[in-house]
Homo-oligomer: A and B are copies of this chain.
């Protein structure tokens, strides 16, 4: 196991290491970046109510997500074009996730061919799907993912268009052709980068969950981007096996409520009918504990893993996952819980104002 890292210091190190445009691409959010800030703050506002003298001699962080065992309730969130921060990009993320006992949710916006990433390591992985304007291209995407062994599809629902990001706009990023979804080709044979058909289709609806299910009848479907109880209900009705409570890391609609606030509302609507994950602002094992207590089965972590990748490649990304796992084990023990299953809502008290 690699050494424990200071996740707060790591972002600073990544900022120094990366070109300003690449750093802004990852760190930036939509609009005035209020939701980016709220995501972190909202977890901190949930205070913990630890149990004492509870016999935590044996603490196990492992859990199951859609039937797959993971070492901790911590998955790697889809991050686009990982080669922009490190040469090995998603291949390194894949290996890091596998060796840490975690699971990569591979972004549609890969910077290596999907097959290469799939083969980079053993172990489960999932594929994040944008339904693109060109449905044929979308079908091709999904098929390649299934061929590569993706064990679930994660449909991102909060991106009918890409949210404006003033910080990123101040640091324009040039994306080489071979970094944007290589291995796919547009109907006319040119690079995929400028192809309108490769944009997110703004007409996607919950009915497309059924369309995806037909394309991929053998794997479960996850709907990502849910912030409202009614949308969670629609996802369940459309056959989702899980939802991800997410505001896209504050990168889409600035001012969207923080996920720590949305999570218990969604959990109240779902009432166990599908699994619930959450992302956005998770920076510590204590945040993982809060997420579990508020109704999530697992969290997805994006930016911290990217900072690990940027500063240390596969090893760096793995250190981040292992650090979070260690911190989660510690948080469980200090809260008096031996496993994620023992974490109940009584362990948190929302709305204490820091």
Copies of this chain held together in the complex: 4
Q: Is the CB of A160 within 8 A of B333?
A: yes
Q: Is the CB of A49 within 8 A of B160?
A: no
A interface residues (Cβ-Cβ under 8 A, vs B): 6, 8, 31-32, 34, 37-38, 41, 44, 46-57, 59, 157-158, 160-161, 163-164, 166, 169-170, 201-206, 208-209, 223, 225-228, 230-231, 234, 247, 252-258, 261-262, 284, 286, 290, 327, 330-331, 333-335, 346, 349, 352-354
A205/B50 contact (C-beta < 8 A), A8-B166, A31-B286, A161-B334 known: no
A257/B52 contact (C-beta < 8 A), A164-B327, A202-B57 known: no
Q: Is the CB of B330 within 8 A of A164?
A: yes
Q: Is the CB of B57 within 8 A of A203?
A: yes
Q: Is the CB of A255 within 8 A of B46?
A: yes
Q: A227–B50 Cα gap in the complex (Å)?
A: 7
Q: A55–B161 Cα gap in the complex (Å)?
A: 11
Q: Is the CB of A231 within 8 A of B261?
A: no
Q: What B residues does A157 contact at CB under 8 A?
A: 52-53
Q: Is the CB of A331 within 8 A of B253?
A: yes
Q: Is the CB of A286 within 8 A of B253?
A: yes
Cβ-closest 6 pairs across A and B: A52-B157, A57-B203, A47-B257, A253-B334, A53-B157, A48-B255
Q: Is the CB of B330 within 8 A of A163?
A: yes
Q: A215–B158 Cα gap in the complex (Å)?
A: 52
Q: What B residues does A247 contact at CB under 8 A?
A: 50
Q: What B residues does A46 contact at CB under 8 A?
A: 255
Identify the interface centre among A50, A208, A284, A286: most chain B CB within 10 Å of its CB.
Answer: A50
Q: Is the CB of B254 within 8 A of A286?
A: yes
Q: What B residues does A327 contact at CB under 8 A?
A: 164
Least CB distance from A40 to B in Å reads 10
Q: What B residues does A262 contact at CB under 8 A?
A: 49
Q: A290–B34 Cα gap in the complex (Å)?
A: 15
With both beta carbons as reference points, the residue of chain B lying nearest to A133 in the complex is identified as B57
